[in-house]
Amino acid sequence: MNAIVERERGLIELEERIADLKAHAADRPVDLTAEIAVLEQKYAQIQREIFGHLTPWQRVNMARHPKRPLGSAYIAALDQFDELHGDRHFGDDPAIVGGFAKLRGRRIVAIAQDKGVDTKEKVHRNFGMPRPEGYRKVRRLVRLAGHLGLPVVTFVDTSGADPGIVSEERAQSEAIAQSIAAFAEVPVPIVATVIGEGGSGGALALALADHVTMLEHSVYSVASPEGCAAILWGDAGKAEEAAARLRLTSDDLLGFGIIDEIVPEPLGGAHRDPRGTIDHVLSSIDAALTRLASIPAGELRARRYDKFRRIGTPA
Amino acid sequence: MRRAPQHALEDAAQWTKCPKCSTMLYRPDLAKNLFVCTTCNHHFRMHAFDRISMLIDANFTEIGDEVVPGDPLGWTDKTSYTQKLDRDREKSKLTEGVVCGFASIGDIPVALGVMDFNFRGGTMGTVVGERLARLFEGARERKLPLVTCTASGGARMEEGMLALMQMAKTTVALQRFRDEGGCAITVLTDPTTGGVSASFAFQADVLVAEARASIGFAGRRVIEQTIRQKLPDNFQTAEFLLEHGAIDTVVERRDLRALLTRLLDYAVGERRSPQPAAANGRATSGASS
């Protein structure tokens, strides 16, 4: 059970009671205003207690919340989108959605990882774990953007690249490596936003960007907490302990200079106001693109080089 | 003259057992045979300095060895990360998981990086990433071809996202080197997985794998747990990758130096530059770790 969903349960009950009281207040002779006010105050207090400070593990659960807005929701909120399919070699990976788009009137190439909403769609999209053909589609679209001089906008949300047999047969390592290389080379502005889970190399393959943003409660990690716990301690059950040590929150990563910006979420998480959250993210991307647009291509690549060359250099 | 590899790791025991066929092997003989089992041809994992002395002509000028580990996350589990590093330093006689420098192979000057599985499973943290980036930059400045021998379990957990970002760092450095006409050759040795295979290793121009080396993205255990079934024996071997078109060639260790010499000749031909000066590096000869 998702730890956030669990904690939300009481809150949602309270929310329903308040709504109920409000609905009935009109047709009852007694005045319920005071009672409603008390409940609302209590509600706000509990909400602050639960969500005012989230532990790293709670943030992992927030990033995986079943109602959290997914990549497709961000794509759908663009002014215009025309999907481009396939890697031109093997197939089309539904875990990656990409194509031409317009963002606040600006022509872009948009690429999103998408986990899928219901069970059928989750299976179709392989739970947002891209296979090699997905990363090869990304590389193709990034190169296309470079060819046409269009900025690249990515939405990162994956627990990691697909770890299955077919992915190994089709050289997952090579596909990810070449996707990362395409981002390093392309002479157009790149803005990446981690909207949920930034899972390891499978996320970095879309995130070597001039401007990297994280939604407040998203996470970005060298490995999933379960994977890290399994690797270090042979026990995936110790994921919460791993999460506490990995420094995977947006504040941690801003501190390390690994990301450039945090977009705040409403109290209770992005799913409490998907439309507002998505709008904030798109505004932040638009602002970043405006800043990057004035930098000449050569300098853009040089700055990108310096940025990633510097990260984590030992003293 | 080239010196034979001679156990960079001193070991009191004169005999060692082949993990594959269980034959007892006399260690000096094993070293002379390039750490390949004389009975079953099993390729043992090699110490970085043993591999360097096996590949190069004579002198090796190390760079980046002054870049030494810190503890950027302040990581502690059963023991502290600093203690783990101390232990591995003692065990491996290395300062970190990769040895980088300049040498020549078959009279062709090269930039050479060799990873070592003995140091935290060859994982890539900030030091490995920084040393490799300096090597790639050094190769670019000196216009040398690049040979990188990989052996790695992937990104180093105890350095968190700073470790993952070394994939980005090595990528930008390698791509700039290649953009300016540099030729990169990766020798994939047992084992190469995760963040190393999914970054600079598979971005090289030519991919060579040592026979029967285990190479992949996800670890074998992870895949087995995901699909809940046993994987075939040859899964993720060098031969499996060759069959699926993922690498250029598979080589027995005894043929590796000759193959690299030929590949380097194709890569640089008459453009080979003179032996580089030993600028800001430590000159060592053969397997003197």
User: How far is the CA of B194 from the CAs of A154, A272, B26, B153, B212, in angstroms?
Assistant: 22, 36, 34, 6, 18
Between A222-236, A274-288, B54-68, the lowest mean confidence (pLDDT) is in A222-236
Rounded CA-CA distance B250/A113 in Å is 35
Per-residue pLDDT, averaged over A38-66, amounts to: 93
CATH architecture of A60-310: Alpha-Beta Complex (3.90)
Per-residue pLDDT, averaged over A216-237, amounts to: 93
What value does the mean pLDDT of chain B take? 91
Q: Which of B171, B224, B236, B242 to mutate to test the interface with A (most CBs of A within 10 A)?
A: B171
Domain count, chain B: 1
Is the pLDDT assigned to residue B279 strictly greater than 60?
A: no
Entry pTM: 0.94
Candidates A174, A241, A311; nearest CB to B169: A311
Is B81 among the domain residues? yes
> Would the CB atoms of A222 and B72 count as touching at under 8 Å?
no
Is B25 among the domain residues? no
> Would the CB atoms of B171 and A168 count as touching at under 8 Å?
no
The pLDDT value recorded for residue B11 is 64
Per-residue pLDDT, averaged over B175-191, amounts to: 97
- Between B97 and A1, the higher pLDDT residue: B97
Sequence spans of domains, chain A: 3-53, 60-310
Give the CATH number of the domain where residue B143 resides. 3.90.226.10
- Between B278 and B65, the higher pLDDT residue: B65
Is the pLDDT assigned to residue A230 strictly greater than 50?
A: yes
Tokens of A127: 């739970």
- Closest Cα in chain B, distance from residue A243 (Å): 10
Rounded CA-CA distance B244/A132 in Å is 13
Is the pLDDT assigned to residue A238 strictly greater than 50?
A: yes
Residues of B with Cβ-Cβ distance to A254 under 8 angstroms: none
Is the pLDDT assigned to residue A80 strictly greater than 60?
A: yes
Candidates A168, A204, A309; nearest CB to B133: A309
Is B90 among the domain residues? yes
Residue B168's domain comprises: 45-285
Is the pLDDT assigned to residue B272 strictly greater than 90?
A: no
SS3 of B17, please?
strand
- Closest Cα in chain B, distance from residue A133 (Å): 14
Is B4 among the domain residues? no
Q: Which of B71, B95, B98, B172 to mutate to test the interface with A (most CBs of A within 10 A)?
A: B172
Query: What number is the ipTM of this complex?
Result: 0.95
